A and B are shown apart, each in its own frame.
Chain A
Amino acid sequence: MRHWWWKVLCVLLLVHTAVAGLYIPLNPGLVHVSRNSLPPERTSISLTGYNTHFASCSSGNNAWLESGTYRYCLGTAKAVSETRVDLNSAAPPAAKDGMWTVVVENDVDGMLRLQNALFVKGSGVNGSDQPCPALVPMNSSAFMFHKGFPNRSILNETIRNLFFHVPMWFSMITLMAIAFVFSIKHLRSGSLDHDLAASVAVNVSLLFGTLGIVTGSIWARATWGGWWTSDTKLNGSALTLLMYLAYVILRGSVPDAHKRARLAAVYNIFAFMLMLVFIMVLPRITDSLHPGNGGNPAFSQYDLDNALRAVFYPACLGWILLGIWTYNLRLRYGRLNALLDENESR
C-alpha cells in the first residue's frame, strides 16, 4: 500500500478527468446569426443556439441589440426549435454605426450574448434606451444548467481540451525538472545511476511534449484556423522539444560512459533554463494566442471558472502522476539493463 497509493490516486484522478471532462454539458450559448447586417426595413433573421431551451422555456424569448450600455429591443422571437428562434425586425431608427451584440433572453437560459454579431448602419447617434418587457424571474431549478462549462464562441466544446492538452505540458515540465535535479546530483556525485535517472526523465518528458504539441495542433486547427501558427508559445515549445532531442542525440554520440554522463548533465542544466525562458517567460512578454499570456499570469480569474477548475486541477495532478509513473517504469527497466551490462562485463 505504501508504494502504490499514488498510482491508485493517479487512476482515480484520470477517471474523474475523463468522466467529468467529457460528460458535463456546456452552458447554453448563442452560436450563429443568419445575417451579418441589419437593414432599417423589417427583415427576418434566425438565431441558432447551442444547448438552449428556446422552445421549452415558459417565458418566451426576448431579443435585444446591445452596444455598450445602450439596449434596443428587437421584440419577441418565435421559437422554431430548442436551438432556433426566428425574428422579424428592423434596425433601430436612431443607432450608432457599427457591430452590435445580439442578446436572447429567456427564463431558463438567462441572457445569451453573441458579441459583434450584426452590423447596423444607423444615423450615428443612439436614441433613448428601448428595453424589452421584463421577464418572469429566473427559474431556479433550470438555473442548474449554468453549472456546466462556459460556452465561449469559437472555443465551443473544445474548451474540454483544457483537460487533455494543458496537463501534458505540466507533466513534461515536471519530468524535465526531475531530469534537472538528477543532472545536478550527477555533477555532485558522479554516480551513473543519477545520469540514468536524468536521461530517462528526458526521454519520458519528450513523450508528453510530443503529445502536447500534437493535441495543441489539432486544437489550433479547430479554433485558430491553422495546424501551426507562428505563435511565441508554439515556437517556444517546438524549440524546447528540439533542444531535448539534441540532448538524446548528444548522449548517444559519446561512447565513454562517464564523459557522456558529465557532458549530458551540463547540457541538461542549460536546456532546462532555456526551456523555462521559451515556454514560461517569452510568451508572457510578447503577445500570444494562448490565454494568460501577453502580461497576464495563467490561471487568472478571467480564464477559468469554477466548473472548469473542478476538473482542471485534478486533471493536472492526474496527468503529472501518470508522467511520474511512466518515468518510474522506464527507470526500473533502465536500472535492470544497467545491472545486466555490469554483470556481462565482469
Chain B
Amino acid sequence: MRTKVASLFFLFLLSALPAGSFAQEAAPAWVEETMFSSGKMTTVVIVVTAVLVGLGVWMFAMDMKLRKLERRLKK
C-alpha cells in the first residue's frame, strides 16, 4: 500500500517535469554562483552527492524492509 502511494506521488511529480520546461525560471543567484564557480567543478560535486544520497536512501529503505522481515521471523 505504501509503495503504491509513493509511486503515485512520484508519478505526479514526474508528469509535472516537462510542463516546467515552458516556465523556465532562474534559480536563486547563490545557486548559480555555486554551480558555475571554479570551472563548474561544484556541479560535479553536486552530481556525485546526488548519486550517493540516492543510494543511501535505497540502503535505508532496504534496511527497514529487512527489519520488518526479521520481526516476522521472530514471531
Contact = CB atoms under 8 A, between A and B. Distances in A.
A329 interface: yes
B7 to A, nearest CB: 5
Interface string B1-33: 101100110110011011011101001000000
Interface string B25-58: 0010000000110111101101110110011001
B18 A228 contact: yes
A333 interface: yes
Given A156-B39, A230-B22, A249-B4, 18 more contacts: A157-B41, A157-B44, A158-B47, A164-B48, A168-B51, A211-B54, A215-B50, A218-B47, A223-B40, A228-B17, A235-B18, A238-B14, A241-B14, A242-B11, A245-B11, A252-B3, A326-B58, A337-B69
Determine the interface band of chain A, counting residues with CB < 8 A from chain B. 35 or more
Interface of B: 1, 3-4, 7-8, 10-11, 14-15, 17-18, 20-22, 24, 27, 35-36, 38-41, 43-44, 46-48, 50-51, 54-55, 58, 62, 65-66, 69, 72-73
Interface of A: 18, 22, 26, 31, 50, 155-158, 160-161, 164-165, 168, 207, 210-211, 214-215, 218-219, 221-223, 225-230, 234-235, 238, 241-242, 245-246, 248-249, 252-253, 326, 329-330, 333, 336-337, 340
B11 A246 contact: yes
**Which 5 pairs across A and B sit closest by C-beta, in order of nearness?**
A222-B43, A157-B41, A157-B39, A252-B4, A156-B39
A253 B4 contact: yes
Contacts of A241: 14
B59 to A, nearest CB: 9
Given A160-B44, A340-B72, A218 B10 contact: no
9 contacts: A22-B44, A155-B40, A215-B50, A218-B46, A219-B43, A221-B27, A227-B24, A234-B18, A252-B7
Given A214-B54, A253-B4, A238 B43 contact: no
A22 B40 CA distance: 13
A253 B8 CA distance: 12
A249 to B, nearest CB: 5
Contacts of A158: 40, 43-44, 47
A242 B43 contact: no
Given A230-B18, A235-B18, A218 B43 contact: yes
B11 A214 contact: no
The listed residue with most A CB atoms (<10 A of its CB), out of B4, B20, B54, B55, is B54
Nearest to A208: B54
B69 A248 contact: no
Contacts of B27: 221, 227
Contact of A226 (B3, B24, B38, B46): B24
A329 B22 CA distance: 41
A67 B4 CA distance: 59
